[in-house]
Amino acid sequence: MFGYKTPLQVANTPNLDAIATAGVNGLMDPVEVGFACGSDTAHLSLLGYDPRVYYRGRGAFESMGAGLAMSPGDIAFKSNFATLDEKTGVVVSRRADRHFEEEGPILCAALDGMKLPSFPEYEVRVRYATEHRCGVVVKGPNLSGNISGTDPLKDNRLLLQAEALDDSNEAKHTAAVVNELSKEITRILVAQPINAKRAAEGKNIANVVLLRGCGIRIEVPQFEKVHGLRPCMVAPTKIIAGLGMSLGIDILEAPGATGDYRTLLSSKATAIARALSAPLQSCPSVFVPGEDEHKPGQADGYDFGFLHIKAIDDAGHDKASMFKAKGLEAVDRAIGQLARLLWEAETTGAFQYYLCVTGDHSTPVEYGDHSFEPVPFALCSLKDFVATVGGDSVLSTPLDPFPLPTIQAGQEFVDDLLKQEEKRNKHSEAFKGDTVFEFNEITAARGCLGRFAGGEMMGIIKAFLKLES
């Protein structure tokens, strides 16, 4: 749709461009060159934890983020509600419906606490996550996380049987438990009135849960101990929230932030800005994993905030070129709101802020899945960002909530050339740092940081803070 340009090149992103203009840039391979990583392994790497050492499957992250407490010895799965042809055993659709916010919690409640006839000693907990996803935890004796899942990973393929990935009795036993769990889930879901209603309406039914990414809760050095920074995170996407919890990162609540296309980006910006500028003893409340309650934030405040945005990745998976470009413009708008809120705090208090923006992996719209291309990375001080944009412009940024854009069929960027000319005229040269003055995959390659692995990211950030402070 965009010729030889990426959605990031086409989108009008003045705030992202200003970060690139004001600071230092580079290309980052989230884990390593040539590796098409998942969000979980990528985030471990970016936050300074080698996934080759610490990764134990993604299921625990999804389940903990959804609110399921995990103890040593439990196993968990990142799971999809999907559509199964019961006669053939073929998974017709790996996503029963991306918009599953009403049905998902009801079906999870029907599955939560289910019993396995052949294995009555095991407890099964199920909790809704986002979109078509849920977390599934199995508690009981002699379980192993070293088994394969039931997800065929592509539509119109046979539902898989879990298999042991080593010769241990625990792995073989766990595979048998999980295969019975898969059958019992389908038996329960088929009888649910919601599925009868969906079938009558011509919609995909959710009669199977694909169990993938079997994992155990990881035990790692906590983020604050590793980096000397007190961290918080806004991440409605449950797998990222669960990963953050595993690293000792507080998860902030952001009303209206959903981790899907319905999300309110302005709420995320407000939550992270409030956390980073809160006076002592008044930090925002944080989510408590496994409990339906909240607790006060750390008394001495936060000095590292991580804001995760999922919708742009979804657009890549959905091969939605126009939405990805327009969605990036919405992200840019939210970054402008964040900058205003932080600048107000910096000019009225003893705070000094920095902005860093990057991705955890590439998801090209032509491919529809994660790929191994590097992602752009930019880092600047807030004061240099404001000097680039203009203080009056930053402080006049509207803070009104806004939804992600709605795209009409056949809509195109008819003013593409004009937008590109506006971008070139906005910042004709770099303000500080290196020669880059646009944020995209091509210009980032000219940055002074060169190309680096994601495991170096926190070191680069901390070195920049020390240099600039």
| Residue ranges covered by each domain of the chain | 7-55+218-468, 61-215
Q: Are 233 and 53 in contact (CB under 8 A)?
A: no
Q: Spell out the residues 6+ positions from residue 319 whose beta carbon is closer than 8 angstroms to its own.
A: 365, 366, 368
Helix axes 238-246, 39-46, angle to 10 degrees: 40
Q: Are 275 and 283 in contact (CB under 8 A)?
A: yes
pLDDT value of residue 436: 94
Report pTM.
0.79
Dist CA 241 CA 254 (whole Å): 12
pLDDT value of residue 290: 47
pLDDT value of residue 4: 82
pLDDT tens sequence across 267-320:
999 999 999 998 644 455 455 444 444 454 444 589 999 999 998 998 898 898
User: pLDDT class for 178, splitting at 50, 70, 90?
Assistant: very high
- pLDDT of residue 31 exceeding 60, the answer is yes
pLDDT tens sequence across 218-238:
788 999 999 999 999 999 888
User: pLDDT class for 427, splitting at 50, 70, 90?
Assistant: low
The neighbour count for residue 54, using CB atoms within 10 Å, is: 16
7-55+218-468: CATH architecture: 3-Layer(aba) Sandwich (3.40)
Provide the token pair at 433.
């740092």
pLDDT value of residue 260: 75
Mean pLDDT of 311-336: 92
Q: What is the mean pLDDT of the chain?
A: 89
Q: How many percent of the chain have pLDDT more than 90?
A: 69
Antiparallel, parallel or unpaired: β 286-287 and 294-295: antiparallel
Q: Spell out the residues 6+ positions from residue 64 whose beta carbon is closer than 8 angstroms to its own.
A: 70, 76, 135, 217, 241, 242, 245, 246, 289, 290
Strands annotated E in 116-252: 123-128, 133-139, 157-158, 208-215, 231-234, 250-251
Mean pLDDT of 261-269: 90
